[in-house]
Amino acid sequence: MKVLIPIKRVPDTDQKIQVKPDGSGIVTDGLPFVINPFDAIAVEEALRIREKSTDTVEVLAASIGPEVCEQQLRTALAMGADNATLIQCDASLDPWNVACVLRAFAGRYQPDLILMGKQGVDDDLSQTGQMLAALLDWPQATFASKIEFLGSGLRVTRETDAGLEIVRVTLPAVVTADLRLNEPRYASMTSIMKARKKTIERITTTELGVTIEPRLQLLGLEAVPSRRKSVRVGSLDELLVKLRAEEKLL
């Protein structure tokens, strides 16, 4: 079985994000980047599938973007992915573009399962997996918190607003990972060293026959200032007085 894990490079979630003065983007100088946390969960799940399976399972990590995305692919390799491909592209990409590139790539690689993060923690769009499933005409199971193999398909527990939903999908399928699917492992120093020596395949979006036509156009960014009163109250009674008298609440 072949499992494809698309990897997005995103700013470290602990970092403070600053907008460029002209609003055209964020300040990236000195900003550390990581694998999108949800994609790391997808990598971990693929590794667990491989560890538990009696068949051979191949885990391929693929990232679309400029050369720097190699760093995140190295992290995926250090975690234990078998192979990695960098799909080279310098243009900025929206979910539709990523889905189109991944469809073309899936056409070559022929995975049985595409396991990906439920959203990027940078743009929080949560679209790519679903769009990709539509383009491939595969079933999807989004926001997965548990994945079980059942004969020729999967039984997936999904986290929804209404509670946990269980669906069965046939393979091939697209599954997107939620936070509680697992806790990703840290790569050991030895595996990080080993991952440095692995070759990362390269292919361009042009070679895949995809032209990048953005659907979601960014017009500008603004930082959001906090406009809170930030009053420290000394006691519960003072708090209740404020809420009742000033906020007309309770």
Partner 1 sequence: MRALIICEHDGKGIRLGSRSAVAFANAVAEETRGSIECVLLGHSLAAVTQDASTYAPVLVADHPALENPVADRYAKVIADVVRQRGYDLVVAAATTFAKDILPRAAGLLGGAMASEVIGHEFRDGRLCFRRPLFAGAVVATVALNAKPQIVTIRPSAYPAASARPERCGVTSFAVDEAALPKKTEFEVLQSKLSNRPDVTEARIVVSGGRGIKNSEDFERLVGGLADRLHAATGSSRALVDAGITPNAFQVGQTGKVVAPDLYIALGISGAVQHLAGMKNSKTVVAINSDPEAPIFEVADYGLVGDVYELVPQWIARLNGK
Ligand X SMILES: Cc1cc2nc3c(=O)[nH]c(=O)nc-3n(C[C@H](O)[C@H](O)[C@H](O)COP(=O)(O)OP(=O)(O)OC[C@H]3O[C@@H](n4cnc5c(N)ncnc54)[C@H](O)[C@@H]3O)c2cc1C
Are the C-beta atoms of residues 176 and 116 closer than 8 Å to each other?
Answer: yes
- Residue keyed to tokens 């250090």: 78
User: Residue 126's binding partner, choosing from ligand X, partner 1, none, with beta-carbon cut-off 5 to 8 A by kind?
Assistant: partner 1
Secondary structure of 62-128 in HEC code, one letter for each residue: EEEECHHHHHHHHHHHHHCCCEEEEEECCCCCCHHHHHHHHHHHHHHHCCCEEEEECCCCCCCCCCH
> Which residue from 143, 184, 195, 208 is in contact with partner 1, where contact means CB under 8 A?
143
58 lies in the binding site for partner 1 (CB under 8 A): no
Minimum CB–partner distance for residue 131 and partner 1 (Å): 4
Q: Which CB atom, from 13 or from 18, has the smaller least distance to ligand X?
A: 13
- Residue keyed to tokens 């499992």: 3
User: Residue 222's binding partner, choosing from ligand X, partner 1, none, with beta-carbon cut-off 5 to 8 A by kind?
Assistant: partner 1
> Which residue from 148, 165, 201, 207 is in contact with partner 1, where contact means CB under 8 A?
165
Binding mask 102-141 for partner 1 (x = CB under 8 A): ----------------xx-xxxxxxxxxxxxxxx-xxxxx
Radius of gyration of the chain (CA): 21
121 lies in the binding site for ligand X (CB under 6 A): yes
13 lies in the binding site for ligand X (CB under 6 A): yes
- Residue keyed to tokens 């070559």: 108
What is the sign of the dihedral through the CA atoms of 58, 42, 195 and 68? Answer: positive
Q: Which CB atom, from 53 or from 160, has the smaller least distance to partner 1?
A: 160
Instruction: Mark 61-92 as b/e (b = at least 16 C-beta within 10 Å).
Output: bbbbbeeebbebbbbbbbbbbbbbbbbbbeee
> Which residue from 31, 67, 221, 244 is in contact with partner 1, where contact means CB under 8 A?
221
37 lies in the binding site for ligand X (CB under 6 A): yes
Binding mask 64-103 for ligand X (x = CB under 6 A): ----------------------------------------
> Which residue from 52, 190, 230, 245 is in contact with partner 1, where contact means CB under 8 A?
230
User: Residue 27's binding partner, choosing from partner 1, ligand X, none, with beta-carbon cut-off 5 to 8 A by kind?
Assistant: none
Hey, what are 62's tokens?
Answer: 């693929």
Minimum CB–partner distance for residue 77 and partner 1 (Å): 26
Secondary structure (3-state) at 187 = coil
User: Residue 2's binding partner, choosing from partner 1, ligand X, none, with beta-carbon cut-off 5 to 8 A by kind?
Assistant: none
User: Residue 180's binding partner, choosing from partner 1, ligand X, none, with beta-carbon cut-off 5 to 8 A by kind?
Assistant: partner 1
Minimum CB–partner distance for residue 229 and partner 1 (Å): 4
Closest CA to 23 of 216, 221, 219, 224: 221
| Cα 69 to Cα 142: distance, rounded to the nearest angstrom | 25
